[in-house]
A and B are shown apart, each in its own frame.
Chain A
Amino acid sequence: MTTQASAADSVVARRSGSPHTSMFVRMLLRAAVLRRGRAASALLAMVVAAAVATAMMNLYVDVQAKLRKEFRSYGANLVVVGKDGASLPPDAVSRAEQVLAGKGMAVPFAYVVARTANGQSIVVAGTDFDRVRTLDAWWKITGTISLHVDDSSDKPPTSAWIGVRAASVVSPKLEPFDLTFQGRTIHLVPASQIQTGASEDSRIYLPLSDFVAWTELNPTTLEVAANGSPEEVNATMQQLVQALPGAEIHPVRQIVEGEARVLGKTRSTLYASAILIILTSALCVLATLTGWVFDRRKDFAIMKALGASERLVSGFFAAEAAALGAVGAVFGFMLGIAIAIWIGHANFHAPVVPRFSVFPYVLAGSIAVALLSALVPMSLLRRVQPAIILKGE
């Protein structure tokens, strides 16, 4: 008996402790549980809207970075040259790479005009073959010959990349040939043929170390591919100016401006689509939720008939809408992140990093839309006498 009494007491005590809140919470929960179907369809609309909004915001931020990376396949966007044709310091590459810190690469180039055996002028360049392959992936490099050192001399011949047009002049059958620069002759074996459709086709490329040993000249040009937004590239440029005092640094305007233009247009299209999609889903949520609240005019009337104040009733419906918005936002956010990741995988073969920073916006937006859609029918209902609603008209 005593235990029962104390249990009852405690219930009374608990209820009397916070009668309003507990009733309020119970009403909120019961409303969702009892009308599962209706609540579910309203929640579904909310979730879809929040998911789409999340996915679009995530993509909008991330796609630009992804596309910028694609644009780096166009090659260098910065060029470093020695002032007045002077050579760059021998450690220029490592200094530049230090500035880039993994966000890009630098490739050294050195040029001279040499003479072929029959006295023709030809441009010879020294560079880092592996780096060029990565930076200028569009170079068509064909016919890599595995070198057999069957030369009787003790020093193996230097292998060179030879442009298609240069090849027709110096070595049409890809036979070994000689080049002379300032009286020094080098014996070269064409290892591969390169084709770019530009001035590279008329040149011969040597590994940088062989080039330096032959001409005793250091690189005069660094081609730099710097990743990142225009601001980051600009900052990289300033740092390069400091790291390489004796050099001039220019952006490759053709690439930089073309990239900016294409990216700008893509971003605007994505932006317009995002606004359209978010707006439409918000309006659909508005339509669905308005119907839902309007449909519950009987609850509204009963609460008023039982003596609930206008504020309490409004507060109840508002809290309900807000709760729906919040729950919808949470599920929608998760779904949206999943959609963004899927799009990143399907299109860019790289994951889109989930941006949790957009969550507050999605949450606030969802709750705002939900409150708005509760507000419209509420203001309509407030003018109507509860008796008329309860009578069923």
Chain B
Amino acid sequence: MFARLLYESFRRQKRRKLLAAVAITLGVTIATAMIAVATDIGDKINRELRSLGANLLVTPQEDTLDVEIGGVNLKPPSDGNFLNEADLPKIRGTFWHHNIVGFSPMLPVNVQASAGSGAANVSLLGTYFSKMLTLGKDQFTTGVRITHPWWKVEGTWPSDESQDVLLGERLAQRWSRRPGDTIEIAGQPHRIAGIVSTGSAEDDEIVSPLALAQQVLGKPGAVRRLYVSALTKPEDALARRDPKTMNPELFDRWYCSPYVQSIAYQLQEAIPHSHAEQIRQVAQNEGTVLSRIKGLMLLVTLAALFASALAVSAAMATAIFERRREVGLMKALGAGNVAVAALFFAEGTLLAIFGGVVGFAVGSLLARQIGRSIFNANIEIQPVLFPIILAIAVIVTFVGSAAAIRRAVQFDPVFALRGDA
């Protein structure tokens, strides 16, 4: 009898049921999409924050002092120690290599350059542009195009294997050179592949593939500095502790958390005779920005959940309110309050499950679409979200219906049947 009542109720009141189901589905859709976006936004924004540049700097351990003002190196180039280029792919072998977005070696060399009208002693900066490296079977690309996304090139980026160079914007203006022209560096002619604009010291420099700078310096394999861009976890009390004072258990926890400090420690392990340091301007500030954006999305999600819960409640209340006469009839025929309430709750559960399943599917699609169109990356939907969403849908539907059901069962059947509902 109960099953038949339930079945008939759905069969005969298609419009009302549809409205309630639509409300629940919409509510669940938005809840799913918002929760999915909010849980993944931290990772997405962390990647976007990498566009502010590298957050780690690796230098030779026994490095002499930089004599550098405004990015212009005033020190003789052959001075000091160097890192070995052959060690760089080892970065891919560190514990947190998945978190390392990219790295760029730098080798500044002072050279005599001339082009048509002008000749001067300028700085030549050797680096990777988009270099293919291999470690074992692992192949990956890295270079300034990943770590320094604000570098703009007019013309084309040179290949890392070529002898072509990029000319700094201001230098190009002074010497009136265009992409495709040639320039003489240390007596050798080189093609200018493009004009680079960075807004800082490189605008007055020549940027070349690393091999060319090493060749000019006469030190194959030499790297002066290494910029590493890594996804990190905001610093906390544990991160700031000195690893030397930790017990083994704590040390493991520290080592296995992607703090900027522990990644620096691992870089030092991977590259012999090196010293890795966080670039505080970038590393220290991304935590606050990240936590603000994450917090914002969390609160917006809460507001959205609240709104959809209220909307679902309103829809359920309406659906039940419309059926006072039915309740009156049922009660007149001898149904108890429990039986009536059970019918409504059963209906609500069915609607919630239906709305939950459809809403979850649509919400997942929506979240995916948002991820694709805004971050060009998929937003991962955790499968564990599904039972949670379904439970929330059922609970909200129950809570939303409870007040209306209470009022409905308390209603005197006489009034209901007389038509005063």
**A residues apposed to B, CB below 8 Å:** 37-38, 41-42, 44-45, 48-49, 51-52, 55-56, 59, 63, 66-67, 70-71, 73-75, 81, 111, 113, 120-123, 136, 138-140, 165-166, 169, 195-199, 201-202, 221, 250-255, 257-259, 261-262, 265-266, 268-270, 272-273, 276-277, 280-281, 283-285, 287-288, 290-292, 295, 339, 342-343, 346-348
Contacts and interface: CB of A to CB of B under 8 A. Distances in A.
B26 interface: yes
- Listed from nearest, the 10 A-B pairs whose CB atoms lie closest are A253-B199, A258-B52, A284-B311, A138-B284, A45-B314, A202-B66, A347-B295, A197-B279, A138-B280, A197-B277
Interface residues of B, number: 75
Given A202-B65, A276-B34, A347-B296, 5 more contacts: A45-B310, A74-B285, A197-B279, A255-B52, A265-B44
Nearest to B283: A197
Interface string B1-30: 000000000000000100100110011011
B200 A121 contact: no
B271 to A, nearest CB: 16
A70 B311 contact: no
B150 interface: yes
A121 B300 contact: no
Contacts of A42: 314, 318
B280 A139 contact: yes
28 contacts: A52-B304, A63-B296, A67-B289, A71-B289, A75-B281, A121-B75, A138-B280, A138-B281, A197-B56, A198-B57, A199-B66, A202-B66, A202-B67, A252-B200, A258-B51, A261-B48, A265-B374, A268-B374, A272-B37, A272-B374, A276-B366, A277-B34, A280-B307, A280-B308, A283-B26, A284-B312, A288-B315, A343-B300
B68 A123 contact: yes
Nearest to A163: B65
A23 B57 CA distance: 80
Contacts of A288: 23, 311, 314-315, 318
A254 B310 CA distance: 45
Contacts of A73: 285, 288
B68 A291 contact: no
Given A52-B307, A121-B67, A138-B284, A253 B198 contact: yes
A197 B280 contact: yes
A48 B304 CA distance: 10
Interface in B325-355: none
A75 B394 CA distance: 49
Interface in B35-55: 37, 41, 44-45, 48-49, 51-53
Contacts of A295: 322
A196 B280 contact: yes
B311 to A, nearest CB: 4
A287 B22 CA distance: 8
Contacts of B322: 291, 295
B415 interface: no
